[in-house]
Amino acid sequence: MDYLKEYKKWCESPEFDEETKKELLAIKDDEKEIEDRFYQELEFGTAGLRGVIGAGTNRMNKYTVGKATQGLANYILEQGTQDKGVAISYDSRRMSKEFSLQTALILNANGIKTYLFENLRPVPELSFAVRNLGCTAGVMITASHNPPKYNGYKVYWDDGSQIVAPRDKDIINKVRDVQSYSEIREISKEEAEKSGLFNIIGTDMDNKYLGILKSKVLNPDIVEKEGKDIKIVYTPLHGTGNTVAERLLNEIGLKNVYVVPEQKDPDGNFPTVSYPNPEDKKAFKLALELAEKVDADVVLATDPDADRLGIFAKDTKSGQYMEYTGNMSALLIAEYRISQMKEKGILPSDGMFITTVVSSELAKAIAKNYNLECIEVLTGFKNIGAVMKKAEENKDKTYVFGFEESYGCLIGDYARDKDGIAAVMALCEAACYYKSKGKTLWDAMIDIYEKYGYYKEAQVSIVMEGAEGAQKIKDMMTNMRNTPIERIGDYKVLTFKDIDKDIVKNIETGEITKTGLPQSNVLYYELEDNSWCCVRPSGTEPKIKLYMGVKGNSGEDACNKLEKLKEDMIDIVK
């Protein structure tokens, strides 16, 4: 793309409004900024759109959102499913409300019915709403846990899962076919309402969604009893979480829920955090201060669209609040729920436990212990959703639990995306259960390690922004793909998987087999002693991501091994 030519077009063409032109003329002397805004079109990828808010082809704005929506509308019309409608929700980010209304009206202008939430709601509730309303699709306006300057656009299909192959590619092609912004159809809200195409949803859907979650509580009597004493600190990090979370916890019997006051209200500027991500310990600063003040048992945080959950739990022996990774919190929920299902005789004999290639190997140990089939998929919860859909269609397996290391899990089949709200509920239930046994959540985590082994994992993200960064990431992946690696630090490589090429190579014998996974730009190294490493570029951010895991004889042993492996992996990539 000739970025200067495209910039000039946006500054002069009557297709673009005066506000957009004014923003662009203000950067007329900054060629690097112009290049970054116009060197490419913001790619409608397999996760939809995600980018910095602003004017330009490589930005989130009403023109790029409009083009994406017109492409989606063209696809829906081709499928003939426009009467089923599209559910739309949004988070607290800047322009989210405006983009969601725009999305609804463009779909309406194409004769497609929409169900727009009256106010911001979590991603998992949107996934639930798509299924509950029998919609053909769903759209969530969110950039998840990205910094404040970002926003995004996620597309779901009729099963409530984000779009997967081959549908994702078909929709992408429809978006690319929209050559001009003048092709985007328009209708007024008044006209859309009069025609019955524009519909508002809200409280009734909340009631249905929360009703399903409450039905998933395994020990309601214990929650009711211990909920009088246990203390929970929760923060939605200025996002959607507290539209339903506090209400849910109160209704299941938790009487001492403290929501961080400075972070309770939605705010797209995220004034108290630079990075609204529960994976980042700094995001917990105010929550941990409140926890110390009220002597909380558990500290919980959800990201802006409330599909991810971070947790700290108090260790009464040391008095410290202990941090959990996404693997740890999900597997604590899994062990609690699966063990209780088995004890109550409701664990399905055909049960499946779904995990991802970059998540903890501890998942396989738990699944084996309870005779569940452990199914590994590529990164991204939509891949877990795809397995759920296939099992639902074939009626041959029953979903029990699914998670990915990026702080997300799903405790039931009512939705097809990770659910931070349900995870908040499940962890609070687990805290009540273990309290009734004289244990904390941290005690429960140590029990899991003692039972299965000390599995530890880490993830490193190397940020490389702009066109230059994108090329560097591409070169890194090419170099690793084409360079045979027989050792990584202290470990011999046993097998090498190039998932993009569908190759599994046994390093010792040279034998080559297939991965059996969909094509994806992922390199995986199986190492000695239950250790592993994985490399992939992020699908939504300008990063290359390194994942690794080890199994130690103790917590200290595992931490030491992991730190060394992390350093060795960084050296190889750089």
CATH number of the domain where residue 541 is located: 3.30.310.50
Please check whether residues 349 and 377 belong to one and the same domain.
yes
DSSP 8-state assignment for residue 266: -
Nearest to 389 by CA among 405, 369, 368, 375: 375
Please check whether residues 481 and 446 belong to one and the same domain.
no
pTM for the model: 0.94
Q: Evaluate whether residue 283 is within a structural domain.
A: yes
Q: How much is the pLDDT for 542?
A: 84
89 strand-pairing partners: 140
Q: What does the pLDDT look like over 159-192, one tens digit per residue?
A: 999 998 889 999 999 999 999 999 999 999 999 9
What type of residue sits at position 282?
K
Nearest to 254 by CA among 212, 215, 225, 286: 225
pLDDT at 43 over 90: no
445-461 burial, b at 16+ Cβ within 10 Å, e below that, comes to bbebbeebbbbbbbbbe
Please check whether residues 432 and 540 belong to one and the same domain.
no
Q: Evaluate whether residue 275 is within a structural domain.
A: yes
Q: Evaluate whether residue 31 is within a structural domain.
A: no
What is each CA distance from 285 to 163, 240, 279, 281, in whole angstroms? 36, 19, 13, 7
Q: Evaluate whether residue 387 is within a structural domain.
A: yes
- Residue that finishes a domain, picked among 425, 452, 479: 452
Average pLDDT, the chain: 95
Q: Evaluate whether residue 504 is within a structural domain.
A: yes
Please check whether residues 191 and 233 belong to one and the same domain.
no
Of 56-70, 263-277, 293-307, 472-486, which gets the smallest average pLDDT? 472-486
Please check whether residues 434 and 459 belong to one and the same domain.
no
Q: Evaluate whether residue 438 is within a structural domain.
A: yes
- Residue that finishes a domain, picked among 144, 168, 201: 201
- Residue that finishes a domain, picked among 402, 424, 452: 452
User: At 45, is the secondary structure helix, strand, or coil?
Assistant: strand
Please check whether residues 320 and 269 belong to one and the same domain.
yes
Active centre residues (catalytic): 144
CATH number at residue 423: 3.40.120.10
472-490 burial, b at 16+ Cβ within 10 Å, e below that, comes to ebeebbeebeeeeeeebbe
Please check whether residues 404 and 539 belong to one and the same domain.
no
Please check whether residues 430 and 543 belong to one and the same domain.
no
DSSP H helices, 280-419, are 285-294, 326-343, 362-369, 381-394
Q: How much is the pLDDT for 309?
A: 98
Please check whether residues 177 and 232 belong to one and the same domain.
no
Residues 6+ apart with CB under 8 A from 132: 205, 208, 209
What is each CA distance from 201 to 209, 561, 563, in whole angstroms? 13, 51, 49
Q: Evaluate whether residue 65 is within a structural domain.
A: yes
Structural domain boundaries, residue 258:
209-216+223-452
Please check whether residues 487 and 397 belong to one and the same domain.
no
Residues 6+ apart with CB under 8 A from 190: none
Please check whether residues 303 and 167 belong to one and the same domain.
no
Q: What does the pLDDT look like over 188-209, one tens digit per residue?
A: 999 999 999 999 999 999 999 9
Give the number of domains in the chain.
3
pLDDT at 64 over 80: yes
Q: Evaluate whether residue 26 is within a structural domain.
A: no
DSSP 8-state assignment for residue 361: T
Q: How much is the pLDDT for 358?
A: 94
